[in-house]
Amino acid sequence: MEVKGVVLVTGAGGGIGRAVAQRMASLGADVLVCADLSLDAVEETATLCRNIHPPRDPGCFKVAAHQLDVRDEASVDGLITQVAKTHGRIDVLVNTAGFGAANQTPIRDMSLADWRSLDEVHNIGCFLLTRAALRIMDGQDAVASVPTANDRPTRGAIVILTSLASEGAFLGVGNYIAAKHAVKGMVQTAAIENAARGIRVNAVAPSYVSGPMMDQFLESSPEVKKALLGDLPMGRLVKPSEIADAVAFLASPASSYVNGHTLVVDGGASLALSNTPFEGRS
């Protein structure tokens, strides 16, 4: 699998974004632009990508790091315009920027501020990024992004991180659930609006991803560990590199006829959850 051209990864200072950026570097991106609210974190990611194994020829592989606030229209439009102006086009946008709910609160007790913070970073953030990227992609020539796909020219591919939270509901995090459902609806609409122009828009929906926060939570007590892993058919969390694999597929010509799709990467967890009401009845 190859991903060529100009690739922009947002949230690239975080666990999933960093793994995605590294995967894009190793799959052959010509230009990799990493952006995040935290400039320090995204510069660290850019350094890791420059030093990727096997080594890339620095003459053919450019890596840049930028600060970005996906909630801010001027910040998003400014970055997208700058990337297109500097590198000529944007072939792939992957958005992983965001955060989860800060606490568990039922909707009847939730503050507007808590609701709005998740809406802004996910719903508004994904809208602003997708809109800005679509405007650039729509105006650029369709190309065969890898020689093996020269019968399937594309203007661009967009991949957005949703979550199992876009596929159902969990108690106490209605702000996260609603924001991720909104993002899924935006992905589906953008997908059908732009399909005829050769632009695909898809989503990846992970279950719990391994990383410092989740790993610490998992080890906080044997009960927590048992309950959490008990819900997961594979008995472990998903690794960021496994999410990067799913993103890479949707960003690459290997998925040239996949559009408006949410690729759930949960080891089968949502299937098991949907069977819960029937437990003990047979």
Ligand X SMILES: NC(=O)c1ccc[n+]([C@@H]2O[C@H](COP(=O)([O-])OP(=O)(O)OC[C@H]3O[C@@H](n4cnc5c(N)ncnc54)[C@H](O)[C@@H]3O)[C@@H](O)[C@H]2O)c1
Interface positions with ligand X (CB under 6 A): 11, 13-17, 36-38, 41, 68-71, 96-100, 121, 161, 163, 206, 208-209, 211, 214
C-alpha 41/C-alpha 107 separation (Å) is 33
Q: Which is nearer to ligand X, 35 or 146 (CB)?
A: 35
Residue 182 CB, shortest distance to ligand X, in Å, is: 13
Which of the 8 DSSP states describes residue 105? B
Q: Which is nearer to ligand X, 37 or 80 (CB)?
A: 37
Looking at the annotation, which residues are catalytic? 176, 180
Residue 133 CB, shortest distance to ligand X, in Å, is: 15
C-alpha 41/C-alpha 12 separation (Å) is 8
Q: Which is nearer to ligand X, 127 or 144 (CB)?
A: 127
Q: C-alpha distances in angstroms, 81 versus 2, 8, 76, 133, 193?
A: 25, 12, 9, 9, 22
Point out the residue whose Cβ comes nearest to ligand X: 14
Check the CA dihedral 45-48-49-53 and report its sign. Answer: negative
Residue 71 CB, shortest distance to ligand X, in Å, is: 5
Residue 170 CB, shortest distance to ligand X, in Å, is: 11
Q: Which of 127, 137, 41 is CA-nearest to residue 76?
A: 127
Q: Which of 146, 131, 15, 84 is CA-nearest to residue 64?
A: 84
Q: What beta strand segments (E) does 101-175 contain?
A: 156-161
C-beta neighbour count of 123 within 10 angstroms:
19
Q: Which is nearer to ligand X, 66 or 87 (CB)?
A: 66
Question: What are the helix and strand counts (H, E) for the chain?
Answer: 10, 7
Pair type for strands 92-95 and 62-67: unpaired
Residue 39 CB, shortest distance to ligand X, in Å, is: 10
Q: Which is nearer to ligand X, 39 or 142 (CB)?
A: 39
Are 79 and 68 contacting, i.e. CB atoms less than 8 angstroms apart?
Answer: yes
Residue 271 CB, shortest distance to ligand X, in Å, is: 17
Q: Which is nearer to ligand X, 129 or 136 (CB)?
A: 129
> Which tokens belong to 123?
């719903």
